[in-house]
Amino acid sequence: MTLAGKQVILGITGSIAAYKAVLLLRELTARAAEVTVVMTAGAEHFVGPLTFRTLSGRPVLSNLFDPQSDDAVEHVALAERTHVFIVAPATANLLAKAAHGIADDFLTTLLLAARCPVLMAPAMDGGMWDHAAVQANVTTLRERGVTVLEPDTGALASGLHGRGRLPEIETIVEEVERLLAPVRDLAGERMLVTSGPTREPIDPVRYLSNRSSGKMGHAVATAALRRGAEVVLISGPTALKPPAGAVYVPVQTAEEMREAALQHLGTATVVIKAAAVADYRVERPSATKIKSGGKRDGWSLDLVANPDILKELAQKKGGAFLVGFAAETNDVRAHAADKLRAKGIDLLVANDVSQHGIGFEADDNQVILLDRWGGVLDLPRMTKIQVAHAILDRVLALRAAPKPRRTPSR
């Protein structure tokens, strides 16, 4: 795709991967983008500004306090006319400053002034990427709408092998193109998405629930909205903000989720059930707080099965395309294939929730997509928003394909 007429800022920070920014700049200018390079002082230790100046045909910005330059006062105007702001490589230090709004050099000051989509391509040692502080900063940035790519796995500058390499230049360019030309292939679709856990009361202060954070379901809703769909998001209690533009229906219990889902099913063209519904509820929740003093010898709760919402939706869905999730801890594929048949749905998204870094609460997921016509798609680990886009791509592809292809194999 041509990027003619697109103003791009390419921020470069102090990582050994700064030399790869030269290749990224070449790819962007080859697509006719007008690129302004901004370097931190750290980046200049790795590659000289002259290289970037020559390839971009523009001055390289770096010193916010240069008295000879008008660049500093110009930064707000530059940020305002920019279509996409890339930081590649983005060090742990840059991610931390961006997450906390620190503006102590040209690049971080420009980031605060930017109103365009921001894309960060991290590069650092694997141990640093996994550090809780870095992960918290990445989560903050993603929640604010910044696209933070996952680093690649491979040989690192430290001599170790792990996750932390700058993503492939091709991946970064593809993401830039996506941000600049948002796809509206779901315009006219009405999506019903469920997300988060349910809470089944024991008494007014206690409940049964599970570890679902709502990140997966909210990512599906966000991705669908970005692609032009109308979205009804039915969610159990989460700490997440509902995505802007969604009709948001907060619920607590499985019964409430069922009621809301049935109410919105009639108008939905696609239903995606990412919620982790509690399978059981307490038969007779107490109206008053149960005194712990009275339970010193143990406490038994009588549980009854909750309605299987997904199965009921499959029976009543009419023409809607129905996607379910399967949270498994072993023999994921076999259990998922059984669940696909038992629930009578069109597509099942299976994830292994016993794996660290994916599934419940994590920012990433790794899923297998099994469809009722026998197709199986094994996807690599990705961010939840990327998984969401992959699910939506699959829904569109399956709906467009001639059917029936074949019945699912046992």
Instruction: Give, for 190, the enclosing helix (H) or strand (E).
Output: strand 190-195
Task: Check residue 364 for interaction with ligand PMT (CB under 6 A).
Answer: no
Task: Check residue 74 for interaction with ligand PMT (CB under 6 A).
Answer: no
Among residues 90, 276, 368, 390, the one that binds ligand PMT under rule CB under 6 A: 276
Task: Check residue 117 for interaction with ligand PMT (CB under 6 A).
Answer: no
In the stretch 227-256, what mask flags binding to ligand PMT with x, by CB under 6 A?
Answer: ---------------------------x--
Task: Check residue 212 for interaction with ligand PMT (CB under 6 A).
Answer: yes
Residue span binding ligand PMT (CB under 6 A) among the ranges 85-93, 159-167, 177-185, 305-313 = 305-313
Least gap, CB of 386 to ligand PMT (angstroms): 13
Report the distance separating Cα 6 and Cα 13, nearest Å: 22
Q: Are 145 and 241 within 8 A, CB to CB?
A: no
Among residues 3, 148, 229, 327, the one that binds ligand PMT under rule CB under 6 A: 327
Least gap, CB of 148 to ligand PMT (angstroms): 17
Q: How, if at all, do strands 84-90 and 7-12 pair? A: parallel
Q: Which residues of 140-158 are buried (b: 16+ CB within 10 A; e: fewer)?
A: bbbeeebbbbbbeeeebee
Least gap, CB of 371 to ligand PMT (angstroms): 15
Task: Check residue 78 for interaction with ligand PMT (CB under 6 A).
Answer: no
- Measured in degrees and rounded to the nearest 5, phi and psi for residue 325 equal -115, 160
Residue span binding ligand PMT (CB under 6 A) among the ranges 213-221, 228-236, 282-290, 396-404 = 213-221
Of 11 and 359, nearer to ligand PMT (C-beta) is: 359
Q: Are 93 and 16 within 8 A, CB to CB?
A: no
Report the distance separating Cα 233 and Cα 247, nearest Å: 6
Task: Check residue 308 for interaction with ligand PMT (CB under 6 A).
Answer: yes
Q: Cα–Cα distances in Å, from 138 out to 63, 122, 143, 173?
A: 26, 10, 9, 20
Which residue out of 63, 93, 137, 210 is catalytically annotated? 210
Give, in degrees to the nearest 5, the angle at Cα 341 between 351 and 319: 95
Give, in degrees to the nearest 5, the angle at Cα 262 between 258 and 267: 145
Of 111 and 268, nearer to ligand PMT (C-beta) is: 268
Least gap, CB of 208 to ligand PMT (angstroms): 12
Among left, alpha and beta (phi > 0; psi -120 to 50; other), residue 298 is left
Task: Check residue 351 for interaction with ligand PMT (CB under 6 A).
Answer: yes
**Is residue 210 annotated as part of the catalytic site, yes or no?**
yes
Helix, strand or coil for residue 365?
A: strand
> How many CB atoms are located within 10 Å of the residue 293 CB?
6
Task: Check residue 309 for interaction with ligand PMT (CB under 6 A).
Answer: yes
Among residues 146, 223, 353, 382, the one that binds ligand PMT under rule CB under 6 A: 353
Least gap, CB of 74 to ligand PMT (angstroms): 42
Annotated active-site positions, please? Answer: 210
Contact positions vs ligand PMT (CB under 6 A): 196, 212-216, 254, 273-277, 279, 306, 308-310, 324-327, 339, 351, 353, 359-361
